């Protein structure tokens, strides 16, 4: 999940940059040693990466017990899927991003400074609603219904409307809005509108199912304990998704390539003014040292961390994952993205 600390320019250690520069000009040779550092320096059991660059495809891995075909939990990458559904509904004039939440869910948001009459759907999408993040209390360990998640949030002080503050609560509320507008769950709408048309055969919203589809590896907590079984209701519309490396590359390529949203609504998604450059609508930019900006999202849920990043036209997409909750060295991720998207010498 992005924060102001991780989305601004992150200093990359000279040692990491040296390891990237030591490789040849090819992305494959520059990145594979760096991916191995996720195991040695990042202290993860295993890491994997899948790159699509035009017609070229490359898979790499490090550590044991991980493969390209694995199904895994994608955490907050779910938010890009939910935002895509909401923007499609806006394109169909079934809702407006300037509508207040109160129009669809009267009386839901009341308490600790939160007021659904003044919180718009755009504010939910851009994390500028002021709603406190319910996961700050549950720590991703307590299964909740959407209403319970909202009630946990409303028991906490609002961070103040109009300011960027990452909050999974907003996307839980958006899931409720999708049901009110369409009569179907957010999962059903995402399957109909995104998963089925793109043939994302490894992607699903598991609901209360604690197991992962086959094939899959194991997922580990920071202490090494096996937490492969997990109730996805700890995250709901903010982080329920199960998917694969291939499907995430295909999804972001299609999204940024204009296959899921009309041009106007894709520009809306990529607009970052509301969040002061930090976040768009379900997607965020990162400017790399060479000046290239990549778009995508990350996802963290117990036992899994995933990052997808793509060029603005969607032709170059990289997704990498580790089979534990966090990477010990925060400099590894920006170094990997730099190696993937910045041609040598720029």
Point out the catalytic residue in the list 27, 76, 126, 168.
Answer: 76
Burial 125-159 (b: 16+ CB within 10 A, else e): bbbbbbbbbbbeebebeebbebebbbebbbebebb
Enumerate residues 6+ apart whose C-beta is below 8 A from 321.
47, 48, 49, 66, 72, 245, 304, 305, 306, 307
Which of 31, 116, 76, 66 lies closest to 318, judged by CA? 31
The question of whether 76 is a catalytic residue gets the answer: yes
**How far apart are the C-alpha atoms of 241 and 79, rounded to whole Å?**
9
Cβ atoms of 245 and 179 closer than 8 Å: no
46-53: strand order across its sheet: 56-63, 46-53, 316-322, 304-310, 293-301, 284-287
Q: Please identify every residue annotated as catalytic.
A: 76
């Amino acid at each position: 999940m992005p924060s102001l600390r991780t989305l601004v320019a992150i200093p990359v250690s000279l040692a990491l940059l040296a390891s990237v520069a030591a490789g040849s000009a090819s992305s494959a040779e520059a990145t594979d040693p760096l991916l191995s550092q996720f195991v040695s320096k990042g202290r993860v059991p295993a890491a994997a990466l899948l790159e699509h660059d035009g017609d070229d495809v490359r898979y790499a891995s490090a550590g044991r017990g991980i493969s390209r075909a694995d199904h895994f939990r994608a955490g907050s990458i779910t938010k890009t899927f939910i935002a895509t559904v909401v923007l499609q509904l806006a394109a169909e004039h079934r809702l407006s991003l300037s509508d207040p939440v109160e129009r669809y869910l009267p009386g839901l948001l009341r308490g600790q400074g939160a007021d659904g009459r003044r919180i718009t759907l755009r504010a939910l999408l851009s994390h500028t609603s002021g709603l406190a993040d319910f996961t700050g209390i549950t720590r991703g360990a307590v299964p909740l219904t959407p209403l319970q998640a909202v009630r946990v949030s409303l028991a906490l002080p609002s961070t103040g409307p109009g300011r960027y503050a990452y909050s999974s609560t907003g996307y839980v509320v958006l899931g409720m809005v999708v049901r009110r507008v369409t009569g179907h769950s957010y999962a059903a709408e995402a399957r109909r509108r995104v998963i089925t048309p793109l043939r994302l055969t490894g992607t699903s919203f598991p609901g209360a199912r604690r197991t992962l589809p086959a094939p899959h590896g194991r997922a580990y907590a920071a202490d090494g304990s096996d937490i492969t079984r997990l109730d996805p209701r700890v995250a709901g519309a903010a982080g329920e998704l199960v998917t694969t490396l291939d499907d995430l590359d295909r999804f972001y390529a299609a999204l940024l390539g204009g296959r899921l949203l009309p041009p106007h609504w894709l520009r809306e998604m990529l607009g970052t003014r509301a969040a002061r450059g930090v976040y768009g609508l379900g997607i965020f930019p990162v400017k790399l040292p060479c000046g290239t900006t990549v778009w995508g999202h990350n996802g963290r849920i117990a036992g899994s961390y995933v990052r997808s990043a793509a060029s603005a036209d969607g032709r170059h997409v990289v997704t990498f994952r580790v089979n534990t909750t966090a990477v010990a060295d925060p400099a590894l991720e920006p170094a990997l993205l730099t190696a993937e998207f910045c041609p040598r010498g720029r």
